[in-house]
Structure 1
Amino acid sequence: MTVYETIKADPVSGAIPDDKAMLRAAVELTRDIATARPGIYWPDMLVSAAVGYGALAGAILLDNPWAALACAAVAVLALYRALLFIHELTHIHRDALPGFRFAWNLLVGIPMLIPSFMYEGVHTLHHARTRYGTVEDPEYLPLALMKPWSLPMFLLVAVLLPIGLLIRSAVLVPLGAIIPPLRRLVWGRASALSINPAFERRAPEDDFARMVFWQELGCSAWAIALLASTQWLGWRPLLIAIAVVSVTAVFNQLRTLVAHLWQNEGEAMTVTAQYLDSVNVPPPGLWAELWAPVGLRYHATHHLLPSMPYHALPEAHRRLAAHCGAGSTYDRASYPGMAMLIGRIARSTMRRR
């Protein structure tokens, strides 16, 4: 076993004391880069969405199967990047990027049937100091400590996601408008991008409730229109779109699978323990920029600095890595790539047969 593997082999304990020097450095070294820059957010999101929809059109319209397949691959990557701006929407200040939330929902969230309310008010619970890794965390399961069949099931859920989203918006939400118990069930159990099956969402209130109403209305109208379009366009366009979204969801589920080590058994964790249970995949590897775009290759650093805009995370990582040095607590959250991390979790589950 190499030194690298030895460092990574020990399970993360919630009792790990906070590395106060690292936490202080994270704040002090990054103050000057903590402002979201509209000149980066807007072009990145708009170009990603435009390329994604253009490539999706090519996948649907082209007769050459290889050309259509190439377009589908581009659509997956571009729409995946566009969708992941939902993560930024949960962290940036409401007044930081005027109009960005509305534009993203109009161009990406509603057409993909994943409006921002599915993450807003949910993801922040994952970052709550006393909730991370506990049963109250909607985005945590001790996957590394579960049975081997849990990983295939984890990915199967993603494969079926677009079908579930269609049923939710086209059928369940409209029915819920006239059947209150169904409405409460759909909201509580099927309105959040969560992986914890025990999580039940609270009813929305005030301004957030109004935002949810309009986003739900948009999604339902669009989902019904998509299903109705099959009457004159046939099923081929919709099935291709479903396939593209399904692969996109699998990409995101794989990214989620390696975003943490998933070793906590439910106890509250210190900030440093949360950091060490999270994952950075820094350069020189290039592939991580495709499967963990919009700053998510620096997921551990993000847990130290949740409000840091995605475009500043590479520089934040460089500063902290240089300041803390090799072998430091900060360095211990860096890994070489997805394959190694999936293998690590898979081996852990195999020991629990």
Structure 2
Amino acid sequence: MIAQDLVEQSIPSPRPDASERAASTWHSQMPDDKEMLRAAVELTRDISAARPAIYWPDMLGSAALGYTALAGAILLDNPIAAFACGLLASLALYRALLFIHELTHVHKDALPGFRFAWNLLVGIPLLIPSFMYEGVHTQHHARTRYGTIEDPEYMPLALMKPWSLPVFALTAILLPPALLVRSAVLVPLGVVIPPLRRLVWERASALSINPQYRRRPPEGQFARMVFWQELGCSIWAIAELAASFAYGWRPLAIALCVVSFTAFLNQVRTLVAHLWENDGEAMTVTAQYLDSVNVPPPAVLSPLWAPVGLRYHALHHLLPSMPYHSLSECHRRLSAHLGEDTTYARASYKGLTPLLKRLAGSTMRAR
């Protein structure tokens, strides 16, 4: 959702020293709101099952629209029409890509064939197979890891220098060419150079934003899945480069631009997925919830920049296994049951712009 790419590991020091920290760890050991936690479980049991009739058409339709629009961006001569197609392709492929988030949480038996189809249609063509998130994102939800140095998806952005935010966002545009080099060059070379293979796996095989994160070697069935996904990505990447040498670079260049904008969208979404105020302490579940963000209605644009349920990111941290199509109803029920002046309501914000302003203001105070 990226939230979260290989290039982000070039972001400078994610952990400010004591002199740079803002007084923002007030919530790290906040007592859990047991009423909220209990209500979240009890009021939503009946809508906790993933519905194939929603997942499949949504994913397939988003991918089909994205690739059709991408073809238009490549083939159309009219620059305005081509640009419009490119923008539509970015938004549609963004939605299709973010189903990788669902794959990490949904039960393996809930959607037979969905993981394979998603990788075949989305993950491998865009060089972001599901193994880059599976086994990584669950660590972000671990009770004792969230917000700590062991969390692959956390950086205390609110406590860092102001210039860190634009650097963090803009480096995402380098993700597509970096992935192309990874799959077409580094992975094949790693077959004959074991140290390179280890380095690529540890440092360039996870959708993480913590530069200090090192991925452990895959094992068992997961290792076999990684092998086939890596093979598919390498074949696809090499074929893309070969076709570009033979027929010209314009199609690949346009595709890279489209996916770069998709990566940038996800990076901006990542900036406002949390408040990023924790300096490394383990946090209670309620503290993790309050460090996360919901952008519910009436915010009308949030489904575009935070699709597939990610507009309810704080709620997702309360109910990680809840399917994306049920989060809106979960929010409605919990809001009605708990009321406005409660812990639950404190994680809701009006939109993208106010959240970006809040984050930028935090970095100014952290100087």
8 Å contact from structure 2 (residues 173, 263) kept in 1? yes
Taking the aligned partners of 2:158 and 2:142, their CA distance within structure 1 comes to 22
Matched, 1:110 2:124: yes
1:39-69 deviation line (CA, Å, top 9, x unaligned): 0000000000000000000000000000001
Taking the aligned partners of 2:121 and 2:32, their CA distance within structure 1 comes to 42
2:357 alignment counterpart: 343
Deviation at 1:231, TM superposition (A): 1.9
8 Å contact from structure 1 (residues 55, 75) kept in 2? yes
1:23-45 deviation line (CA, Å, top 9, x unaligned): 00000000000000000000000
Moved more, 241-250 or 155-164: 155-164
Deviation at 1:348, TM superposition (A): 1.1
Deviation at 1:12, TM superposition (A): 5.2
1:52 alignment partner, one of 63, 66, 71: 66
Spell out structure 1 runs of 4+ moving beyond 4 A.
Answer: 9-12
Matched, 1:257 2:251: no
Taking the aligned partners of 1:206 and 1:66, their CA distance within structure 2 comes to 50
Q: Which runs of 5+ in 1 are unaligned?
A: 1-8
1:237-275 deviation line (CA, Å, top 9, x unaligned): 000000000000000000010000000000000000000
2:187 alignment counterpart: 173
Deviation at 1:156, TM superposition (A): 2.4
Q: Which amino acid aligns with 1:72?
A: G
Taking the aligned partners of 2:212 and 2:26, their CA distance within structure 1 comes to 23
Trace 1:136-155 onto structure 2 (pairs within 5 A): 136-155=150-169
Q: Which amino acid aligns with 2:182?
A: R
1:18 alignment partner, one of 32, 47, 51: 32
Q: Which amino acid aligns with 1:89?
A: L
Taking the aligned partners of 1:149 and 1:74, their CA distance within structure 2 comes to 30
Moved more, 292-301 or 228-237: 228-237
Taking the aligned partners of 1:62 and 1:173, their CA distance within structure 2 comes to 34
SS in 2 for 1:231: helix
8 Å contact from structure 1 (residues 12, 276) kept in 2? no
Taking the aligned partners of 1:112 and 1:63, their CA distance within structure 2 comes to 24
1:162 alignment counterpart: 176
1:299 alignment counterpart: 313
Matched, 1:65 2:65: no
8 Å contact from structure 1 (residues 12, 273) kept in 2? no
Taking the aligned partners of 2:340 and 2:211, their CA distance within structure 1 comes to 38
Q: Which amino acid aligns with 2:72?
A: G
1:241 alignment partner, one of 255, 258, 264: 255
Moved more, 229-238 or 66-75: 229-238
Aligned length, in residue pairs: 345
1:208 alignment partner, one of 215, 219, 222: 222
1:133-188 deviation line (CA, Å, top 9, x unaligned): 00000000000000112112211220100011001000000000110000000000
Deviation at 1:327, TM superposition (A): 1.5
Taking the aligned partners of 1:310 and 1:322, their CA distance within structure 2 comes to 20
C-alpha distance 277-284 of structure 1, shift in aligned 2 (>3 A):
same
2:346 alignment partner, one of 328, 332, 335: 332
1:80-131 deviation line (CA, Å, top 9, x unaligned): 0000000000000011100000000000000000000000000000000000
Deviation at 1:11, TM superposition (A): 6.1
Taking the aligned partners of 2:244 and 2:201, their CA distance within structure 1 comes to 28
8 Å contact from structure 2 (residues 294, 313) kept in 1? yes
Give the root-mean-square deviation of aligned CA atoms.
Answer: 1.0
2:114 alignment counterpart: 100
TM-score of the two chains, using structure 1 as the length reference: 0.96
2:331 alignment partner, one of 312, 317, 320: 317
SS in 2 for 1:308: coil
Matched, 1:85 2:99: yes
1:132 alignment counterpart: 146
Taking the aligned partners of 1:280 and 1:312, their CA distance within structure 2 comes to 14
Deviation at 1:350, TM superposition (A): 1.7
Taking the aligned partners of 1:231 and 1:10, their CA distance within structure 2 comes to 53
Matched, 1:223 2:237: yes
Identity across the alignment (%): 76
Deviation at 1:216, TM superposition (A): 0.2
2:6 alignment counterpart: none
Taking the aligned partners of 1:168 and 1:39, their CA distance within structure 2 comes to 35
1:287 alignment partner, one of 301, 310, 313: 301
Taking the aligned partners of 1:131 and 1:147, their CA distance within structure 2 comes to 24
Taking the aligned partners of 1:157 and 1:90, their CA distance within structure 2 comes to 25
Taking the aligned partners of 1:19 and 1:231, their CA distance within structure 2 comes to 59
8 Å contact from structure 1 (residues 59, 240) kept in 2? yes
Taking the aligned partners of 2:24 and 2:157, their CA distance within structure 1 comes to 16
8 Å contact from structure 2 (residues 25, 279) kept in 1? no
